[in-house]
Structure 1
Amino acid sequence: MNPAEEILDVVDENDEVVGQAPRGEVYARGLRHRCTFIRVRDAQGRTFVHRRTATKLVFPSLYDMFVGGVVGAGETYDAAALREAEEELGVSGLPQPVPLFKFLYEGAGKSWWSHLYEVRCELPVDPQVEEVAWHTFLTDEQLARRLGDGPDAWEWVPDGRAAYELLVRR
């Protein structure tokens, strides 16, 4: 199925479902919906980081320190977190990601309820080529350098950066 045709729940400011629409329409009209963010750590505690493909509907070619994506119509955050993590990492048999917190992301005419999770992945990853153009695992120190303003800084997805800043503050 074309990702733009996937049906999503449209939600209000309280994360209550108020309707449904295809993903393409949700994005085009700036309708509030649901997403998951999963921080993936390997056996050494490093964070999975990737560059999104140029064909992504939202934030193409930017770097992200989370895997994840939209929650389908009628799907729970928990189910979406496991599905998205396994799809993007190209693995099966991950443990259920641990929920950390939920927040409302609003920026650049976009708005979605976002549930942040964490999971340990000790399996060899084979990221989904439609989603991930490049990937690596970074230590917390390496990630901090890439998030900074110096010559090592990368351009990050704004919602992922907001989620990361909330995570660090907690």
Structure 2
Amino acid sequence: MSDKNKAKWYVAHTYSGYENKVMDDILKTVENRGMEDVIQEVRVPMEEVIEIKDNKKKVSERKVFPSYVMIKMIMNDDSWYVVRNCRGVTGFVGPGSKPVALTQEEVESMGLEHTVIKFDYNVGDNIRVKYGALEGFLGVITEINLDKKKVKATVSMFGRDTDVELEFNQIESIA
């Protein structure tokens, strides 16, 4: 596993209003110390907000997670020290003083990263269910939902065709 893949997302808690200052300070420290390979990304997730006041539309940005900074890094003593001792940081999110990395699902739901799934199936393809309650059953794909990473398929159960919803990783192609 390369160092790039060992880096995980961690969340640092900051004083309210210090998020951008903390991000800038961490990035400067990383540059000054040559730690770009250890602390790879620092973000304050923002979203656009449209406010309508006096029939005028105003677009502004606001922090998605106020008082938090997201940091993609390889956790070691040096990276922990840099983030923890940055002015405005009160600590990492996690029990006690031990930082806990975000799960891949959390990272994707926060919009920090997106996993690209290679999906080579089409509507009408014959499939076999690899695991789950319908393990071993054969079916035909009737619908594909890339956003939810699921397919709808017609599976023959006990002599009847039944429509089921399956996750991408639950199916395999049969020739």
Q: Please, what TM-score do these two structures have when normalized by structure 2?
A: 0.27
* Rg (Cα) greater in structure: 2
Higher relative helix content = 1
Normalized per residue, the structure richer in strand is: 2
Q: What is the TM-score with the length of structure 1 in the denominator?
A: 0.27
